[in-house]
């Protein structure tokens, strides 16, 4: 029964600023919520939990998040809270152009302002396809409410004609077969419905699964978040438990800043090495650290992960897929195996430490998760390179590369931009050999724009037909976490910002020395100075709209490719009333 009780007691909470009191403003706010069928007793001061949902049919990986939000709501209600679901920008790799990365920062602004402008005491961040995870975390970090993340989970294992089809990775492999003439276009198209058997993100250790796993080990999600398949009933149970826990976070005043600490980032960096995680994790974690005001640099990814072995035998660095990883025990088993390599005393959203969460947990001996005594690869962390070609740094993922190419010296074959690459890469007359170094310019944050996942340049068709499966490739682009190869990425400064990459010409010799952490262009300084003078100073085009804002404010990859004015916290202070 809807009564007429005073609501002054609710003013002790953030949401109570909206719903407490009996003045005109309180009347207006409560009345609007009651129009949705919410009874008066729900305004008794109980925590109001936002469900920040990135559901969209334009992001097929996230198409099941609407259902998961219902289970989150059940958990919030059970714990005595009031759930209020709201949409924010949804970022999906399958459809968005020119790059989802260009819109990550826009989505984070959407999240930040939605949280600050509304009567929320805490929030459940519902993410799926890979850029939604960092976007939601970045926006929430700048507000710093009690926050918890729920990932959508990976799709089921794809299969065709008795073979597993790894998401993304299988696409690259099969397309190379089409270009080499060993697979028909009809067979390629026939695999489309077999690779994605359900909603959910990639079934490989791509960026989505990487970020979902790292969110878990950072303590921002409940145990199990990283690997439960999207359509598994246990994902719904996790959603219910996440909603329940969100209410408790508010009652305990467990702010996001208490969880996302320096120790949490170091745990993420070491775990990323152990799971063979995506290079995209670097740019996303750097951006999140900038929002959370945690001191984190590019060098930390090399230094902190030094000596951490690859433990997870998962595509693209291994053989298995995410369903197998879940069956093997997922992130908790990996964290348990890493032991004292992690900060076990780091606080998590469970209210307990990471060590307490995994205490006594052991795997059943699955070949998917190896032991420290028997790793898949020694020292598997992402390598940070420097040299006259990348004075601000560049990345390579050794676990996904050909070992023999990690020390290489070769002649550059240069593509000025992606259109040049597409026009010439399969030209039989292209002057390229197996030991050449493919170089792509104009694919960084400003240059493309949006730093697309095009760093794994295709092997020229004539070399594919000759049996070449990998080459050294260098660019200022990113690479999908599902991709593989000896690929040097995130070159800083990018070519469009006047970096040395812009000066490379076909025929130049490039030295790659991953053990020595070097990336050098063997061209005399005087010649580089001449080329730089001829190149002139790059200018950002005047385009209008968000693109212009992005081009004028995006930072380079070594600081996360965030917008410069978004770094840091702006807090959760309640804005002035508008009525």
Find the CATH number of the domain harbouring 477: 3.50.30.80
Which segment of 2-11, 13-22, 132-141 scores lowest on mean pLDDT? 2-11
- Within a domain: residue 566? no
Among residues 170, 196, 222, the one where a domain terminates is 196
Which uninterrupted H or E stretch holds 414?
Answer: strand 407-415
Which uninterrupted H or E stretch holds 385?
Answer: strand 383-387
Total domain count for the chain? 2
* pLDDT, tens only, 448-505: 999 999 999 999 999 999 999 999 999 999 998 888 899 999 999 999 999 999 999 9
SS3 17: helix
- Within a domain: residue 522? yes
- Within a domain: residue 379? no
Q: What is the residue-averaged pLDDT of the chain? A: 94
* pLDDT, tens only, 17-37: 999 988 999 999 999 999 999
Residue 429, number of CB atoms within 10 A of its CB = 7
Alpha-carbon torsion, ordered 202, 154, 100, 487, to 10 deg:
-40
- Within a domain: residue 519? yes
- Within a domain: residue 124? no
pTM: 0.95
- Given a cut of 90, whether residue 213 has pLDDT beyond it is yes
- Within a domain: residue 475? yes
Question: Average of pLDDT values for 147-168?
Answer: 92
Among residues 519, 535, 551, the one where a domain terminates is 535
Instruction: Give the integer Cα–Cα distance in Å for 524 and 522.
Output: 7
Question: Average of pLDDT values for 198-213?
Answer: 94
- Given a cut of 90, whether residue 361 has pLDDT beyond it is no
- Given a cut of 50, whether residue 11 has pLDDT beyond it is no
Task: Print the domain residue range for 416.
Answer: 394-535
- Given a cut of 80, whether residue 387 has pLDDT beyond it is yes
- Within a domain: residue 446? yes
Check residue 540 and give its pLDDT.
65
Check residue 298 and give its pLDDT.
96
**Tokens in use for 323?**
């369903």
Question: Average of pLDDT values for 228-238?
Answer: 97
Which residue is it, tokens 């070097």?
A: 518
- Within a domain: residue 484? yes
Question: Average of pLDDT values for 381-391?
Answer: 96
Instruction: Give the integer Cα–Cα distance in Å for 565 and 333.
Output: 39
What sign for the dihedral angle of Cα 537, 541, 542, 548? negative
* pLDDT, tens only, 249-306: 999 999 999 999 999 999 999 999 999 999 999 999 999 999 999 999 999 999 999 9
Check residue 360 and give its pLDDT.
86
């Amino acid at each position: 029964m809807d009564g007429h009780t005073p609501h002054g007691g609710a003013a002790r909470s953030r949401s109570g600023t909206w719903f407490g009191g009996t003045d005109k403003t309180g009347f207006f706010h409560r009345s609007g919520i009651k129009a949705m069928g919410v009874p008066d007793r729900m305004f008794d001061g109980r925590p109001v939990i936002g469900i920040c949902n990135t559901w969209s049919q334009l992001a097929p990986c996230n198409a099941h998040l609407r259902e998961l939000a219902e289970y989150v709501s059940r958990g919030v209600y059970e714990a005595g809270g009031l759930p209020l679901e709201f949409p924010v920008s949804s970022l999906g790799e399958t459809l968005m152009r020119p790059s989802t990365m260009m819109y990550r920062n826009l989505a984070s602004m959407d999240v930040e302002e939605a949280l600050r402008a509304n009567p929320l005491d805490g929030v459940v961040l519902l993410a799926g396809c890979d850029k939604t995870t960092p976007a939601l975390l970045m926006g929430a970090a700048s507000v710093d409410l009690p926050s918890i993340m729920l990932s959508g989970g990976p799709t089921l294992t794809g299969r065709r004609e008795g073979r597993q089809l790894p998401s993304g990775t299988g696409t690259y492999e099969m397309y190379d077969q089409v270009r080499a003439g060993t697979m028909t276009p009809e067979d390629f198209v026939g695999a489309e419905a077999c690779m994605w058997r359900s909603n959910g993100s990639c079934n490989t250790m791509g960026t989505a699964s990487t970020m979902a796993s790292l969110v878990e080990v950072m303590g921002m999600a409940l145990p199990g978040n990283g690997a439960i398949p999207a359509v598994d009933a246990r994902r719904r149970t996790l959603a219910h438990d996440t909603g329940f826990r969100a209410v408790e976070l508010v009652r305990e005043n467990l702010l996001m800043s208490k969880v996302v600490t320096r120790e949490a980032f170091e745990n993420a960096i070491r775990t990323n090495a152990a799971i063979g995680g995506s290079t995209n994790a670097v740019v996303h974690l750097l951006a999140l650290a900038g929002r959370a005001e945690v001191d984190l640099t590019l060098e930390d990814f090399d230094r902190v992960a030094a000596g951490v072995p690859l433990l997870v035998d998962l595509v693209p660095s291994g053989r298995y897929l995410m369903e197998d990883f879940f069956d093997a025990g997922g992130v908790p088993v990996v964290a348990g195996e890493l032991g004292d390599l992690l900060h076990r005393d780091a606080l998590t959203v469970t209210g307990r430490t990471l060590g307490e969460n995994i205490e006594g947990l052991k795997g059943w001996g699955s070949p998917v998760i190896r032991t420290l005594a028997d790793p898949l690869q020694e020292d598997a962390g992402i390598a940070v390179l420097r040299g006259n070609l990348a004075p601000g740094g560049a990345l390579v993922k050794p676990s996904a590369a050909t070992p023999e190419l990690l020390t290489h010296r070769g002649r550059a074959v240069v593509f000025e931009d992606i259109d040049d690459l597409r026009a010439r890469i399969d030209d039989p007359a292209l002057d390229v050999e197996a030991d050449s170094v493919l170089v792509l310019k104009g694919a960084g944050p400003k240059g493309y724009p949006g730093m697309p996942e095009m760093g794994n340049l295709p092997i020229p068709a004539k070399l594919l037909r000759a049996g070449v499966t990998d080459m050294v490739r260098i660019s200022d682009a990113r690479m999908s976490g599902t991709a593989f190869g000896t690929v040097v990425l995130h070159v800083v400064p990018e070519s469009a910002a006047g970096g040395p990459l812009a000066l490379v010409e076909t025929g130049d010799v490039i030295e790659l020395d991953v053990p020595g952490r070097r990336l050098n262009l063997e061209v005399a300084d005087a010649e580089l100075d001449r080329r730089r003078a001829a190149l002139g100073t790059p200018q950002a085009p005047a385009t209008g709209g968000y693109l212009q804002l992005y081009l004028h404010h995006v930072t380079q990859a070594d600081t996360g490719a965030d917008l410069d004015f978004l770094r840091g916290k702006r807090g959760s202070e309640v804005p002035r009333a508008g009525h």
